[in-house]
Amino acid sequence: MNATTAAPNRAGRNWRGLDSDTALIYGVLSLVALVSWGLILANGGQINVANTLVRSVALGMVAVGQTLVILGGSLDLSVAYQVSVTAVMASYVMQGNPDRMILGVVVVTTIGLAIGLANGLIITVLGVNPFIATLGMALVLRGVLNSSFDNFAGAVPEQFQVLGYGAIGPVPLAVLLFAAVVAIAWILLRATRFGHHLYAIGGSEETARLSGVRSGRVVIGAHMLCSLTCVMTGLFIVSRLRAGAPWVGPDGNYDLESIAAVVLGGTALIGGRGGVLGTVAGVLILALLDNLFNQLEVNTFLKDVLRGVIIITAVAVYALRTRRGRA
Amino acid sequence: MSAGSPSTAAGFEQELTRPWRERAWRQTRGAAPIFAILLSLLVWIAIRNPNFTDPPVFLAFLKRAAPLMILAAGQLFVIISGEFDLSVGALITAVVVAAAGLTEGDPGRTWWVIALLFGLGAVVGLLNGLITTRLRVPSFITTLGMLLVLQGAVLFWSGGAPRGSLPENFRIFGRFGFESVPVIEQLPYSVIILAFVGIVAILLLHRTTFGKQLFAAGGNRRAATLSGVDVPLVRTIGFVLSATSAVIAGILVGGFAGISQDAGAGYEFQAISAVVLGGAALGGGSGAMVAAMAGALSLEALFTLLNLLGLPKPSRDAVQGLIIIGAVAFAAYRLRRT
Amino acid sequence: MRRPTRDRIRALAAAVALTAGVTAGSVLTAAQDSTPATGPQSEFFVQEDFEEQLRLRDVAPEGPADEPWAQALEPEFVDTSEYAKEGPYKICFSNAGVNNPWRVVGWTTMQAEADLHPEIAELVHIDAEGSDEKQIADIQDLLGQDCSLLIVSPNTTAALTPAVEQACAELPVIVFDRGVNTDCPVTFIKPIGGYAFGADAAEFLVDNVPATGNILALRILPGVDVLETRWSAAKAIFDESNINVVGVEFTEGDVANTKSIVTDYINRFGSIDGVWMDAGATSVGAIEAFEDLGLEVPPITGEDQQDFLRKWKDDGLTAVAPTYPTYQWRTPIIAALDILQGREVPKEWTLPQPLITNENLDQYLQENMPPLHYALCGCENMPDFPARWGGEGS
The answer on pLDDT for A8 being more than 50 is no
Percentage of residues in chain B with pLDDT exceeding 70?
90
Which pLDDT belongs to residue A296? 80
When the candidates are 3.30.1360.120, 3.40.50.2300, 3.90.1150.10, 2.40.50.140, the CATH number that belongs to C194-322 is: 3.40.50.2300
B contacts of A303 (beta carbons < 8 Å): 152
Distance of CA A288 to the CA centre of its chain: 17
How distant is the Cα of B164 from the closest Cα of chain C, in angstroms?
6
The answer, yes or no, to whether the previous bond of C162 is cis (omega within 30 of 0) is no
Choose the weakest-confidence range: A42-51, C190-199, C365-374. Answer: A42-51
Which pLDDT belongs to residue B14? 57
The interface residues of chain A toward chain B in range 74-133, judged by CB-CB distance below 8 A, are 122, 126-129, 131-133
With contact defined as 3+ CB pairs under 8 Å, the chains touching A are B, C
Which pLDDT belongs to residue A9? 38
Closest CA in chain C for residue B255:
C256
Q: Domains (ranges, CATH) in chain B? A: 9-337 (1.10.3470)
The amino acid occupying position C207 is D
Which pLDDT belongs to residue B134? 92
Choose the weakest-confidence range: A270-274, B308-312, C277-281. Answer: B308-312
The answer on pLDDT for B78 being more than 90 is yes
The answer on pLDDT for A313 being more than 70 is yes
Q: Which of A144, B301, B303, B313 has the alpha carbon at shortest distance from C20?
A: A144
How distant is the Cα of C167 from the closest Cα of chain A, in angstroms?
14
C contacts of B160 (beta carbons < 8 Å): 98, 101, 104, 107-108
The chain-wide mean pLDDT, for chain B, equals 87
The chain-wide mean pLDDT, for chain C, equals 87
A&C contacts, CB < 8 Å: 90
Which pLDDT belongs to residue B5? 41
User: Measured between alpha carbons, how far is C220 from B243 in angstroms, rounded to an integer?
Assistant: 30
A contacts of C129 (beta carbons < 8 Å): 300
Whether residue B71 lies within 8 A of chain C, CB to CB, comes out as no
C contacts of B49 (beta carbons < 8 Å): 267-268
Which pLDDT belongs to residue B177? 87
User: Measured between alpha carbons, how far is A248 from A238 in angstroms, rounded to an integer?
Assistant: 9
Of A125, A246, A248, the CB nearest to C13: A125
The answer on pLDDT for C1 being more than 90 is no
**Domain residue spans in chain C?**
67-193+325-353, 194-322
User: pLDDT-based confidence at A283, cuts 50/70/90?
Assistant: very high
B&C contacts, CB < 8 Å: 131
Q: What is the pLDDT of residues B151-186, one digit of tens each?
A: 999 989 888 888 888 999 999 999 888 887 777 778
Closest CA in chain A for residue B315:
A143
How distant is the Cα of A209 from the closest Cα of chain B, in angstroms?
16
Which pLDDT belongs to residue C74? 94
Whether residue B8 lies within 8 A of chain C, CB to CB, comes out as no
Task: Identify whether the C-beta of residue C42 lies closer than 8 Å to the C-beta of residue C278.
Answer: no
Q: Do B319 and C25 touch (CB under 8 A)?
A: yes
Which pLDDT belongs to residue A251? 86
Percentage of residues in chain A with pLDDT exceeding 90?
52
The answer on pLDDT for C45 being more than 80 is yes
Q: What is the pLDDT of residues B189-203, one digit of tens each?
A: 999 999 999 999 999
User: pLDDT-based confidence at B30, cuts 50/70/90?
Assistant: low
DSSP class of residue C341? T
Rounded mean pLDDT, C10-22: 47
Rounded mean pLDDT, A105-129: 95
DSSP class per residue in A221-242: HHHHHHHHHHHHHHHHHHHHHS
Rounded mean pLDDT, A93-105: 92
HSE-CB at A22 with a 13 A cutoff on CA atoms is 16
Rounded mean pLDDT, C65-77: 94
Query: What separation in angstroms does the CA of A183 have from each of A30, A56, A164, A254, B302?
Result: 21, 16, 20, 21, 46
Sort A282 into a burial class: Cβ within 10 Å, 0-12 / 13-18 / 19+.
buried
A contacts of C14 (beta carbons < 8 Å): 126
Which pLDDT belongs to residue C43? 75
- Domain A2-326 top-level CATH class: mainly alpha
The answer on pLDDT for A1 being more than 80 is no
Which pLDDT belongs to residue B336? 75
The answer on pLDDT for C5 being more than 60 is no
Residues 6+ apart with CB under 8 A from B138: A263, A268, A269, A270, A315, B132
Higher pLDDT, C199 or B324: C199
Q: Do A48 and C141 touch (CB under 8 A)?
A: yes
Residues 6+ apart with CB under 8 A from C82: none
* Helix%, strand%, coil% for chain B, nearest 5: 75, 5, 20
Which pLDDT belongs to residue C145? 83
The answer on pLDDT for C41 being more than 90 is no
- Domain C67-193+325-353 belongs to what architecture? 3-Layer(aba) Sandwich (3.40)
How distant is the Cα of A229 from the closest Cα of chain B, in angstroms?
23
Rounded mean pLDDT, B236-254: 96
Which pLDDT belongs to residue B17? 58
C contacts of A146 (beta carbons < 8 Å): 222-223
User: Measured between alpha carbons, how far is C151 from C174 in angstroms, rounded to an integer?
Assistant: 5
Which pLDDT belongs to residue B6? 41
The answer on pLDDT for C31 being more than 90 is no
Higher pLDDT, C170 or B2: C170
User: Measured between alpha carbons, how far is B99 from B169 in angstroms, rounded to an integer?
Assistant: 12
Task: Identify whether the C-beta of residue A23 lies closer than 8 Å to the C-beta of residue A144.
Answer: no
Closest CA in chain B for residue C20:
B322
Which pLDDT belongs to residue B63? 92
DSSP class per residue in C259-297: HHHHHHHHHHHS---EEEESSGGGHHHHHHHHHHTTPPP
Percentage of residues in chain A with pLDDT exceeding 70?
92
The answer on pLDDT for B204 being more than 90 is yes
Rounded mean pLDDT, B310-335: 81
Domains C67-193+325-353 and C194-322 fall in the same CATH topology: yes
B contacts of C107 (beta carbons < 8 Å): 160
Find which of A147, A247, A286 to mutate to test the C interface (most C CBs within 10 Å of its CB).
A247
Q: Between the ranges A13-22, A73-82, A248-257, B56-65, where is the mean pLDDT highest?
A: A73-82
Which residues make beta-bridge pairs with C91?
C123, C149
Percentage of residues in chain C with pLDDT exceeding 90?
63
Task: Identify whether the C-beta of residue B299 lies closer than 8 Å to the C-beta of residue B71.
Answer: no
Task: Identify whether the C-beta of residue A315 lies closer than 8 Å to the C-beta of residue A270.
Answer: no
Which pLDDT belongs to residue A247? 85
Rounded mean pLDDT, B220-235: 89
Residues 6+ apart with CB under 8 A from C269: C214, C246
pTM for this prediction: 0.88
